[in-house]
Amino acid sequence: MSSQRIAGPAGDLEMAVSGPETPRAIAVICHPHPLAGGTMTNKVVTSTERALVELDIRCLRFNFRGVGHSGGTHDHGVGELDDTRAAIDYLRTQHPGLPLVLAGFSFGAFVSAHLAVDVAPAQLLSIAPPVGRWDFSKFRHPHNEWSVLQPDADEVVSPAAVYDWVAHLDPMPRLHRFEGCSHFFHGQLNALRDVVQAHVRESAWW
């Protein structure tokens, strides 16, 4: 799949779009931390994309500012909110009125979770959100369909911190624990696909 570029708030945003031309819904997927090598080609991102495309959802994944061919420089989760909003606006313009699934992995889960209340997705998918590594104190509950998907053997994000955070949210998001699974879902990408698809199919908006 070839990438393309759209105008972003800090220069061009490199992105890739996949899925049906007449989709049931649309999705934007945010990648892990750029300074740790995170890009839109990360295998958790592309596996999430494939899972959603199989449900006839049109998907957009993109590189945050300063990554790949995207303009600008890393902005520690601040400017990345605007990058994500620009990607959502683009896809919504192409497919007006369709439900939005907003997904993110690791750093991308931090960005997407903090933007969700402003862009009102039909569903939020937070994969290994970096609770304890990034500041979630300003997080506002989006009050939409929301799933937190957390590896139990995560070596980057503390599963205990994630579970404690989830337990204190009201209402609590739906939580799925991947037993024996590492942060990058080594050997468990098929399980991730199955859970993503199940959580979307079982959501109220579907």
Q: Which of these, 138, 149, 139, lies nearest to 198 by C-alpha position?
A: 149
Would you place residue 1 in the very low, low, confident or very high pLDDT band (cuts 50, 70, 90)? low
Residues facing 28 on adjacent strands: 60, 102
Mean pLDDT of 191-199: 99
Count the neighbouring beta carbons within 10 Å of the beta carbon of residue 50. 16
pLDDT band at 3 (very low <50, low <70, confident <90, very high): confident
Q: In order of start, what are the domains of the chain with their CATH numbers? A: 4-201 (3.40.50.1820)
Bridge partners (DSSP) of residue 53 are: none
Q: Decide if 68 contacts 37 (C-beta within 8 A).
A: no
For residue 108, what are its two tokens? 């991308």
Q: What gap in Å lies between CA 160 and CA 42, rounded to an integer? A: 24
The model's pLDDT over 15-60, given as tens digits with 9 standing for 90+, comes to 999 999 999 999 999 999 999 999 999 999 999 999 999 999 999 9
Which pLDDT tens digit goes with each residue over 113-137?
A: 999 999 999 999 999 999 999 999 9
DSSP string, 100-162: EEEEEETHHHHHHHHHHHHH--SEEEEES--BTTB--TT-----SEEEEEEETT-SSS-HHHH
